[in-house]
Amino acid sequence: MRTTALTIAEKLRTVETCPLFSGVPSAELAVLAEMMRTEYLRADEILFQAGEFSDNVYVVAAGTLNVFLPNDPLPVRALSPGDLLGEYGMLANLARTATVRASTDAVLLSLDYQRFRAFLLRFPEATLVMLKTAVARLVAAENRNRRGASP
Protein backbone atom coordinates (compact mmCIF):
# COMPACT_ATOMS: atom_id res chain seq x y z
CA MET A 1 0.00 0.00 0.00
CA ARG A 2 1.21 3.50 -0.85
CA THR A 3 2.26 5.56 2.17
CA THR A 4 3.23 8.91 0.62
CA ALA A 5 0.82 11.81 0.60
CA LEU A 6 -1.33 12.28 -2.47
CA THR A 7 -0.26 15.09 -4.78
CA ILE A 8 -2.39 18.21 -5.02
CA ALA A 9 -3.58 17.02 -8.45
CA GLU A 10 -4.65 13.65 -6.98
CA LYS A 11 -6.40 15.35 -4.08
CA LEU A 12 -8.17 17.71 -6.48
CA ARG A 13 -9.41 14.79 -8.62
CA THR A 14 -10.76 13.16 -5.46
CA VAL A 15 -12.66 16.19 -4.16
CA GLU A 16 -14.05 16.85 -7.65
CA THR A 17 -15.81 13.45 -7.46
CA CYS A 18 -17.54 14.34 -4.18
CA PRO A 19 -21.11 15.61 -4.78
CA LEU A 20 -20.77 18.05 -1.88
CA PHE A 21 -18.16 20.01 -3.82
CA SER A 22 -19.90 19.94 -7.22
CA GLY A 23 -20.82 23.63 -7.25
CA VAL A 24 -17.47 24.93 -6.07
CA PRO A 25 -15.17 26.67 -8.57
CA SER A 26 -12.01 24.70 -9.47
CA ALA A 27 -9.66 27.34 -8.05
CA GLU A 28 -11.40 27.13 -4.67
CA LEU A 29 -11.40 23.34 -4.78
CA ALA A 30 -7.66 23.40 -5.37
CA VAL A 31 -7.21 25.45 -2.19
CA LEU A 32 -9.44 23.03 -0.29
CA ALA A 33 -7.55 20.03 -1.67
CA GLU A 34 -4.25 21.56 -0.62
CA MET A 35 -5.49 21.87 2.97
CA MET A 36 -6.50 18.19 3.17
CA ARG A 37 -4.25 15.53 4.70
CA THR A 38 -3.76 12.07 3.23
CA GLU A 39 -4.57 9.18 5.56
CA TYR A 40 -4.24 5.44 5.00
CA LEU A 41 -6.16 2.49 6.43
CA ARG A 42 -5.51 -1.20 6.04
CA ALA A 43 -8.38 -3.62 5.45
CA ASP A 44 -10.34 -4.20 8.71
CA GLU A 45 -8.77 -1.15 10.38
CA ILE A 46 -11.25 1.11 12.19
CA LEU A 47 -11.20 4.79 11.24
CA PHE A 48 -13.39 5.80 14.18
CA GLN A 49 -16.01 4.35 16.53
CA ALA A 50 -19.47 5.58 17.49
CA GLY A 51 -19.30 7.88 20.50
CA GLU A 52 -15.71 8.99 19.96
CA PHE A 53 -14.82 12.67 19.81
CA SER A 54 -15.20 13.96 16.31
CA ASP A 55 -12.87 16.53 14.79
CA ASN A 56 -12.42 15.71 11.08
CA VAL A 57 -14.41 15.16 7.93
CA TYR A 58 -13.13 12.70 5.33
CA VAL A 59 -13.43 12.05 1.59
CA VAL A 60 -12.69 8.54 0.34
CA ALA A 61 -9.94 8.69 -2.30
CA ALA A 62 -9.51 4.92 -2.82
CA GLY A 63 -10.83 1.68 -1.37
CA THR A 64 -14.08 0.91 0.41
CA LEU A 65 -15.26 1.34 3.98
CA ASN A 66 -18.31 0.09 5.85
CA VAL A 67 -20.50 2.08 8.24
CA PHE A 68 -21.88 0.32 11.32
CA LEU A 69 -24.47 1.70 13.73
CA PRO A 70 -24.08 0.93 17.44
CA ASN A 71 -25.16 -2.62 18.37
CA ASP A 72 -25.64 -3.63 14.73
CA PRO A 73 -23.17 -6.19 13.35
CA LEU A 74 -24.20 -5.57 9.73
CA PRO A 75 -23.05 -2.48 7.85
CA VAL A 76 -25.77 0.06 7.02
CA ARG A 77 -23.86 1.38 4.03
CA ALA A 78 -20.63 1.09 2.11
CA LEU A 79 -18.44 4.06 1.22
CA SER A 80 -16.42 4.29 -1.98
CA PRO A 81 -14.26 6.91 -3.72
CA GLY A 82 -15.87 10.35 -3.69
CA ASP A 83 -18.01 9.67 -0.61
CA LEU A 84 -17.92 12.12 2.30
CA LEU A 85 -17.98 10.87 5.88
CA GLY A 86 -17.68 12.28 9.36
CA GLU A 87 -19.77 15.35 8.70
CA TYR A 88 -22.45 14.36 11.25
CA GLY A 89 -20.00 14.82 14.10
CA MET A 90 -19.77 18.49 13.28
CA LEU A 91 -23.53 18.79 13.72
CA ALA A 92 -24.16 16.22 16.48
CA ASN A 93 -22.29 17.49 19.54
CA LEU A 94 -18.94 16.42 18.10
CA ALA A 95 -19.59 12.74 18.79
CA ARG A 96 -19.33 10.07 16.11
CA THR A 97 -22.72 8.50 15.34
CA ALA A 98 -21.33 5.34 13.71
CA THR A 99 -18.28 3.13 13.49
CA VAL A 100 -16.40 3.14 10.19
CA ARG A 101 -14.10 0.27 9.23
CA ALA A 102 -12.11 -0.26 6.05
CA SER A 103 -13.26 -3.30 4.09
CA THR A 104 -10.21 -2.94 1.80
CA ASP A 105 -7.01 -0.94 2.03
CA ALA A 106 -8.17 2.66 1.75
CA VAL A 107 -6.88 6.17 1.16
CA LEU A 108 -8.74 9.12 2.68
CA LEU A 109 -8.44 12.87 2.60
CA SER A 110 -9.14 14.53 5.95
CA LEU A 111 -9.95 18.08 6.91
CA ASP A 112 -10.43 19.48 10.41
CA TYR A 113 -13.86 20.85 11.31
CA GLN A 114 -12.66 24.43 11.70
CA ARG A 115 -11.56 24.57 8.06
CA PHE A 116 -14.58 22.57 6.92
CA ARG A 117 -16.95 25.04 8.65
CA ALA A 118 -15.16 27.96 7.00
CA PHE A 119 -15.57 26.23 3.65
CA LEU A 120 -19.32 25.64 4.25
CA LEU A 121 -19.83 29.29 5.23
CA ARG A 122 -18.11 30.42 2.05
CA PHE A 123 -20.11 27.98 -0.12
CA PRO A 124 -23.59 27.64 1.40
CA GLU A 125 -24.78 25.53 -1.55
CA ALA A 126 -22.42 22.81 -0.28
CA THR A 127 -24.21 22.96 3.07
CA LEU A 128 -27.51 22.33 1.29
CA VAL A 129 -26.06 19.30 -0.50
CA MET A 130 -24.75 17.99 2.84
CA LEU A 131 -28.16 18.45 4.51
CA LYS A 132 -29.96 16.79 1.59
CA THR A 133 -27.67 13.78 1.94
CA ALA A 134 -28.21 13.67 5.71
CA VAL A 135 -31.98 13.74 5.31
CA ALA A 136 -31.85 10.96 2.70
CA ARG A 137 -29.82 8.81 5.12
CA LEU A 138 -32.28 9.48 7.95
CA VAL A 139 -35.25 8.55 5.77
CA ALA A 140 -33.49 5.34 4.73
CA ALA A 141 -32.80 4.53 8.41
CA GLU A 142 -36.45 5.15 9.31
CA ASN A 143 -37.56 2.85 6.50
CA ARG A 144 -35.18 0.12 7.72
CA ASN A 145 -36.57 0.52 11.24
CA ARG A 146 -40.17 0.30 10.03
CA ARG A 147 -39.44 -2.88 8.07
CA GLY A 148 -37.73 -4.38 11.11
CA ALA A 149 -40.61 -3.44 13.44
CA SER A 150 -43.41 -4.96 11.37
CA PRO A 151 -44.72 -8.44 12.32
Question: Which string of DSSP letters, residue by residue, matches 10-51?
Answer: HHHHHHHTSGGGTTS-HHHHHHHHHHPEEEEE-TT-EEE-TT
Q: Pick from 31, 13, 9, 12: which is nearest to 118 by CA?
A: 31
Percent of the chain topping pLDDT 90 = 50
In a domain, 149, yes or no: no
pLDDT of residue 149: 56
User: Quick check: 99 pLDDT over 70?
Assistant: yes
- Residue 23 domain boundaries: 8-143
Query: What's the whole-number mean pLDDT along residues 82-106?
Result: 87
Answer whether residue 150 is part of any domain. Answer: no
Domain presence at residue 85: yes
Residue 3 lies in a domain: no
Residues 116-129: tens digit of each pLDDT: 888 888 888 777 77
34-66 pLDDT, tens digit per residue, is 999 999 999 999 999 999 999 999 999 999 999
What domain count does the chain have? 1
Sign of the torsion angle spanned by Cα atoms 51, 52, 55, 59: negative
Here the CATH number for the domain that contains residue 128 is 2.60.120.10
Task: Note the pLDDT of residue 124.
Answer: 82
Say which range, 15-24, 70-79, 93-102, 132-141, has the weakest mean pLDDT. 132-141
**Does residue 2 belong to any structural domain of this protein?**
no
Residue 114 lies in a domain: yes
Lowest mean pLDDT among 65-69, 112-116, 129-133: 129-133
Q: What is the mean pLDDT of residues 108-118?
A: 92
State residue 68's pLDDT score.
96
Kindly report the average pLDDT of the chain as a whole number.
87
Query: Is residue 148, in this structure, part of any structural domain at all?
Result: no
pLDDT at 148: 67
Give a yes or no: residue 117 inside a domain: yes
